Amino acid sequence: MEVRQQHLENSHLHRELQSVYLATITMLADAAEAKDPYTHGHCEHVASLAERVAERLSLSEHDRSVVCHAALLHDVGKIGIADGILNKPGPLSPEEFEVVRAHVRVGADLIRNIPALAPIANAVLGHHERFDGTGYPQGLEGEEIPIAARIICVVDSFCAMTTKRSYKEAWGEEWARAELERCTGTQFDPQVVEAFLAVLDMPEPLHDSDGPTGYNLLPVFGYSSDQHCVRG
């Protein structure tokens, strides 16, 4: 086989694999969201904003990839939580709260079982840690918490505040911004909050084939400038 033809076939195979990979992780994210009618599209929205924060913080291509894919899958561990708890309109009992808190370990364990996804497991595990060390599951503090987890924590909290849930109405964006600033340095990493607020003030970029993103988590996949980890 000619070298050029072999190269074309390899490129085609890489693109197919990348596309299967993206479809698979999106399906996992969708499966978790399907359990909660109020969170439809939430993970993609978080991933899209997290991707822009990572870019604003000038993270490496690898770290941006981890941020984006971990953001898509951050709540995949909710697959194992009973619907009655997940969609409970009132406050949770301490026992129910423990079940919900377990979603970070369940999600990280699920992801760690897939070797290609292992780099994002710690980001999923840490997305409910707090910058001051009072979060869960490990009580990590400051930069002990993976940067991807610190980014997801800020973006996820903002998106949760500004959307309707089974237990609360949607709150206004100005109120949510003020809440992020109020919790800077305690719940949230100050540099991430600053970058996120800057991203919110910027116009949303168009995803086109010349865009700067197209992150690849797996070394086996060739670079593909028209592929984003978020659909559309």
Residue 210, φ and ψ in degrees, nearest 5: -100, 5
- Whichever of 7 and 168 has its CB closer to Fe ion, that residue is 168
- Whichever of 163 and 216 has its CB closer to Fe ion, that residue is 163
Which tokens hold the place of 62? 């690898």
User: Binding-site residue total for Fe ion (CB under 5 A)?
Assistant: 1
- Whichever of 43 and 193 has its CB closer to Fe ion, that residue is 43
CB of 138 vs Fe ion, minimal distance in Å:
15
DSSP summary character for residue 210: T
Which residue minimizes CB distance to Fe ion?
Answer: 75
Subset of residues 22 to 81 that bind Fe ion, contact rule: CB under 5 A: 75
DSSP string, 71-134: HHHTTGGGGGS-HHHHT-SSPPPHHHHHHHHTHHHHHHHHHHTSGGGGGGHHHHHTTT--TTS-
Task: Please enumerate in sequence order all residues whose Cβ is within 8 A of that of 114, keeping only pairs 6 or more positions apart, or say none.
Answer: none
- Whichever of 109 and 204 has its CB closer to Fe ion, that residue is 109
Subset of residues 101 to 140 that bind Fe ion, contact rule: CB under 5 A: none
- Whichever of 75 and 189 has its CB closer to Fe ion, that residue is 75
CB of 115 vs Fe ion, minimal distance in Å:
23
* 227: three-class secondary structure by DSSP: coil
CB of 152 vs Fe ion, minimal distance in Å:
8
CA distance 12 to 192: 37
CB of 222 vs Fe ion, minimal distance in Å:
32
Residues that bind Fe ion (CB under 5 A): 75
